[in-house]
Amino acid sequence: MKQVYLDNAATTAIRPEVIQRMTKVLQEHYGNASSTHSFGRSSKALLEQCRKNIASYFNVAASEIVFTSGGTEADNLALRSAVRDLECNEIITSRIEHHAVLHTAEQLQKEYDVKITYVNLNDCGLVDYTHLEQLLQESNKAVVSLMHINNEVGNILDLERVAKMCKSNNALFHTDTVQSVGHYTIDLQKIPLDFLAASAHKFHGPKGVGFCFIRKESGLKPLIFGGEQERGYRAGTESIHNIVGMDEALKIAYTNLENDKAYVFDLKNYFIEQIKSKLPNVSFNGSCSDSKNSTYTLVNVCLPIAPEKTSMLQFQLDLKGIACSRGSACQSGSSQQSHVLTEILTEEHLKQPSVRFSFSIYNTKEEIDYVVETLSAFANT
């Protein structure tokens, strides 16, 4: 059976070069980085070199990079400490954030009675910047949490605009960049945000590792206690091989960024052209068909398929060897509708199946032809 993987927004294949480097580290650098003997010092040297390397891509100090288990932990670290330790009494966010942010905010509201305010969105799910400015002017001590790129529909937030808006209104700004790190350059000297979350497995690195950027002198406190690792921000023995894998994946991603971006962007445009040709009544959710306001890595389509056939679509695609997602991968096992699509789609469109296809350098136009033909055959039978 043909196998086509178009679920790269959920996770990506690890690059062979990354696996090779991780394997070498597993074999040769197994010392605990907190140990003072030569084995430990070897691991510590690797750890700190990776920290410096990663910091350089974002134009920040190495001390501002804290390694975590991934984006979810980084989101929790920033938001929880902003409320608990930095005395933020309001979280300004949107209703289409990742649940790592939304559920954390809801839990903080229960624990600390913090106010949650949702910024208005337009019909495509883009943030209403005028409303955000109004909310900031009305707030006292707020932390804004808005993702750079929406993981379901690909909408892009103007990070620099929001960061400067927050700064001028004495608010903190946290952003989840899980879908953008490794795919876009982010200069944190030009963008005065306070906290950023990233995850290696979204840019062809290993799962179980990510990082949190914490602006120096922010006053953020630990989420996990039990040791002095990560300058006290995150207790626990560092996973050196995973951190090295993340470093290698990020190095390759940014070295090849322009060529890879052009290749994947061409695949996305080709997919849009082909599916429009085969299914003229298809529609595109959010701004995913707008190259200016959406990422080049994914498209979320609302398919003109009869409601009674909707429940069989994902099953049929899987039978054909096609991997994709209804909403985010975190929700794909749930019978509930995507909270993102529920927020931005009409009732009529919600009755039709929506599917997210996300692309990488390992995809081809031949694969896209196969997927579009499969969708067309299913819709027309």
Q: 290 and 220 in one domain? A: no
Q: 263 and 249 in one domain? A: no
What would the mean pLDDT of 44-55 be, rounded to a whole number? 98
Shortest CA distance to 296 belongs to which of 127, 97, 149, 121? Answer: 149
The reply to whether 330 belongs to the active site is: yes
Report whether pLDDT(120) > 90. yes
Q: 291 and 190 in one domain? A: no
Question: Which CATH number goes with the domain that contains 209?
Answer: 3.40.640.10
Which pLDDT belongs to residue 48?
Answer: 98
Residue 229: how many other CB atoms lie within 10 Å: 20
Which of 230, 255, 280 terminates a domain? The answer is: 255
Q: 177 and 117 in one domain? A: yes
Task: Retrieve residue 124's tokens.
Answer: 């495509």
What would the mean pLDDT of 88-96 be, rounded to a whole number? 98
Q: 227 and 80 in one domain? A: yes
- 137-163: b or e for each residue (b if 16 or more CB lie within 10 Å)? eebeebbbbbbbbbbbbbbbbbbeebb
Of the chain, the percentage scoring pLDDT greater than 90 comes to 87
Instruction: Say which of 50, 124, 302, 330 is annotated catalytic.
Output: 330
Domain that holds residue 300: 4-12+257-379
Which pLDDT belongs to residue 16?
Answer: 98
Shortest CA distance to 127 belongs to which of 148, 105, 102, 103? Answer: 148
CA dist 79 and 221 (Å) reads 11
DSSP SS3 for 202: helix
Q: 124 and 272 in one domain? A: no
Report whether pLDDT(331) > 80. no
Number of domains in the chain: 2
- 317-339: b or e for each residue (b if 16 or more CB lie within 10 Å)? beebebbbbbbbbebeeeeeebb
Which pLDDT belongs to residue 327?
Answer: 56
Report whether pLDDT(7) > 80. yes
Report whether pLDDT(255) > 80. yes
Which pLDDT belongs to residue 280?
Answer: 94
What would the mean pLDDT of 320-333 be, rounded to a whole number? 70
Would you say 309 and 378 are in contact if contact means Cβ atoms under 8 Å apart?
Answer: yes
pTM here is: 0.94
Would you say 105 and 84 are in contact if contact means Cβ atoms under 8 Å apart?
Answer: no
